[in-house]
């Protein structure tokens, strides 16, 4: 019920000004999205199906740009700390089988998506069920991620593949 109230307010009623961008995450939190700490969320977020905001977890310090879509009917999307999510990124935890079975149609399966700490997902990327984007990894704009992206690598393309390694910061 809270999603019905707070999601539209966060998405459409709060003006898009810098000061309010830093507090919009509170409304998403009230709508049921599990946010630890502070996050900067421009919105609007599309969450499908309605009532599944609880299947989204966002870590402290994460930035989420505009028009991001979460398809989370059963499985979860977990985004770590200090991540950057570009505009129009899609997280899809549901997929269908390739073979049509009479009476069952194509069937479907649900798998979670995990984006580990300090990862960057470029604009328009699509993350499909069951993938993990490793710590510090970068997914290029427009990539379709069908399998795991190792930590500290750059992945891009359709389907996404590792393009190069990133030197991790010294601890």
* Residues with catalytic roles: 96
Query: Exposure of 135 by Cβ count < 10 A (0-12 exposed, 13-18 middle, 19+ buried)?
Result: middle
In angstroms, the CA 16 to CA 45 distance is 14
Q: Which two tokens stand for residue 64?
A: 């989420």
Please state, in angstroms and as integers, the Cα–Cα distance from residue 171 to each residue in 109, 144, 149, 168, following that order. Answer: 39, 31, 22, 9
């Amino acid at each position: 019920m809270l999603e019905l109230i707070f999601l539209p307010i966060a998405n459409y009623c709060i003006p898009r000004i810098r000061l309010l961008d830093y507090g919009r995450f509170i409304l998403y939190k009230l709508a049921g999205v599990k946010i630890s700490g502070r996050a900067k969320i421009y919105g609007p977020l599309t969450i499908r199906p309605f009532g599944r905001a609880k299947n989204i977890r966002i870590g402290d310090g994460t930035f989420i740009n505009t028009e991001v879509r979460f398809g989370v009917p059963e499985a979860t999307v977990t985004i770590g700390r200090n991540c950057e999510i570009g505009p129009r990124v899609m997280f899809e935890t549901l997929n269908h089988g390739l073979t049509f079975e009479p009476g069952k149609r194509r069937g479907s399966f649900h798998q979670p998506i995990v984006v580990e700490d300090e990862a960057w997902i470029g604009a328009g990327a699509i993350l499909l069920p069951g993938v993990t984007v490793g710590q510090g990894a970068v997914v290029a704009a427009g990539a379709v991620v069908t399998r795991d992206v190792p930590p500290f690598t750059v992945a891009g393309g359709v389907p996404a593949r590792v393009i190069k390694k990133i030197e991790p910061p010294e601890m």
